[in-house]
C-alpha cells in the first residue's frame, strides 16, 4: 500500500507539539508530585505513570501525521532502517525533526515551569553522573529502539503506542538513571530545577549513553528480525513510525 505523507512543515509541527506536551507532562507531574507528598516512591510512581500515559496518547494521536517520534534517536532509527530503500526520512528531515523535537522539549519544560509559578528557564542543579547511570541510559534507550524497530520490522506498527508507553514506564523503574532515553527531553529537563531536572553538565554523558544504546538497539533489531518488508500492508494510522514518502 502506498501512502502520501503530510507536508514536512506539518510533520515538524506535530513533532514539536508532541514533544512539548510530553516534556510538560514529565516536568509538570514531577512538580505536582513533589508538592503533594514527601514519599519518594509515591512521587516517582505518579511521575512515571503520567509520563507513560501521555507518551502512549501522543503517539496514537500524532503518529498518523509525523510518525509520533518525539525523540531524535527514534527518528535516527527510522532513517537508518529506510536509508537504502528511500522509504524513511532523509538526512535533511532527520536534522529538521531533531531540531523541532528539541525546541518542543524546551518550550514544554518552560511551560510546565510557568504553570507552577517558576521561571520559564530555570537551570537545574541536579547532577546525574557516573558509569552506573550511563549504563542505565544505554539499557533504557537500547531497548526502546529495539521495541520500535522490532515492531516496525515485524509489521506490527499498531502495537507501537502501547508498547512504547509500557516500556518507558518499566524502564523508569528498572534502570539506575530513571530511563530518560530521549536526548531532546534530556536537554529540556536541564532547564528545570525541579524533581525531574538534570544539570547541564550531566547532559552530554546522558546523550552519549542514549546514542550508544540506540545504535545497539537498532543493530539488535536487525539481527533478530531481519530487514523490514515494506511491501506488506501495515496499519495506516501507525505509519510504521517511519515518516517520508512510500
Q: Supply the pTM of this predicted model.
A: 0.90
Write out pLDDT tens, residues 106-136: 999 999 999 999 999 999 999 999 999 999 9
* 3 assigned to some structural domain: no
The CA-atom distances, in angstroms, between 234 and each of 2, 7, 245 are: 10, 21, 15
* 2 assigned to some structural domain: no
Whether the pLDDT of residue 39 is over 50: the answer is yes
The CA-atom distances, in angstroms, between 95 and each of 90, 91, 99 are: 9, 6, 6
Range of the domain at 94: 8-241
Whether the pLDDT of residue 239 is over 70: the answer is no
Q: Can you give the pLDDT at residue 85? A: 67
Q: Can you give the pLDDT at residue 230? A: 41
The CA-atom distances, in angstroms, between 178 and each of 41, 135, 139, 166 are: 13, 11, 11, 14
The CA-atom distances, in angstroms, between 61 and each of 54, 69, 161, 164, 240 are: 10, 12, 9, 14, 14
* 143 assigned to some structural domain: yes
CATH assignment at residue 165: 1.20.1080.10
Residue, of 161 and 238, whose pLDDT is higher: 161
* 22 assigned to some structural domain: yes
Whether the pLDDT of residue 17 is over 90: the answer is yes
* 46 assigned to some structural domain: yes
What letter would DSSP give residue 175? S
- Find out whether 156 and 221 touch, Cβ atoms under 8 Å: no
Rg of the Cα atoms in the chain: 17
Residue, of 33 and 242, whose pLDDT is higher: 33
- Report the number of distinct structural domains present in the chain: 1
Whether the pLDDT of residue 1 is over 80: the answer is no
Q: Can you give the pLDDT at residue 240? A: 44
Cα 192–Cα 197–Cα 203 angle in degrees, nearest 5: 105
* 1 assigned to some structural domain: no
Whether the pLDDT of residue 25 is over 80: the answer is yes
Q: Can you give the pLDDT at residue 155? A: 85
Q: Can you give the pLDDT at residue 5? A: 83
Q: Can you give the pLDDT at residue 237? A: 44
Write out pLDDT tens, residues 149-168: 999 988 898 999 999 999 99
Instruction: Work out the percent of the chain whose per-residue pLDDT is above 70.
Output: 89
Mean pLDDT over the full length of the chain: 90
Amino acid at each position: 500500500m502506498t501512502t502520501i505523507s503530510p507536508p514536512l512543515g506539518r510533520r515538524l509541527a506535530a513533532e514539536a507539539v508532541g514533544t512539548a506536551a510530553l516534556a510538560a507532562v514529565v516536568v509538570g507531574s514531577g512538580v505536582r508530585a513533589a508538592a503533594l507528598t514527601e514519599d519518594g516512591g509515591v512521587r516517582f510512581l505518579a511521575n512515571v505513570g503520567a509520563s507513560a500515559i501521555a507518551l502512549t496518547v501522543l503517539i496514537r494521536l500524532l503518529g498518523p501525521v509525523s510518525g509520533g517520534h518525539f525523540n531524535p534517536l527514534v527518528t535516527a532509527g527510522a532513517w537508518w532502517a529506510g536509508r537504502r530503500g528511500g522509504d524513511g526520512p532523509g538526512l535533511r528531515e532527520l536534522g529538521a525533526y531533531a531540531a523541532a523535537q528539541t525546541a518542543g522539549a524546551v518550550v514544554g519544560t518552560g511551560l510546565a515551569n510557568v504553570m507552577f509559578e517558576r521561571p520559564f528557564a530555570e537551570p537545574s542543579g541536579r547532577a546525574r553522573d557516573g558509569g552506573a547511570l550511563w549504563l542505565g541510559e544505554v539499557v533504557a534507550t537500547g531497548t526502546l529502539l529495539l521495541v520500535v524497530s522490532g515492531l516496525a520490522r515485524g509489521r506490527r506498527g499498531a502495537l507501537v503506542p502501547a508498547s512504547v508507553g509500557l516500556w518507558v514506564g518499566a524502564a523508569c523503574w528498572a534502570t539506575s538513571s530513571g530511563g530518560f532515553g530521549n536526548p531532546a527531553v534530556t536537554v529540556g529537563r536541564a532547564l528545570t530545577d525541579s524533581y525531574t531536572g538534570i544539570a547541564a553538565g550531566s547532559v552530554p554523558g546522558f546523550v552519549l549513553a542514549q546514542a550508544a544504546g540506540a545504535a545497539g538497539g537498532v543493530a539488535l533489531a536487525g539481527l533478530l528480525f531481519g530487514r523490514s518488508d515494506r511491501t506488506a500492508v501495515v496499519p495506516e494510522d501507525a505509519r510504521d513510525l517511519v515518516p517520508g514518502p512510500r
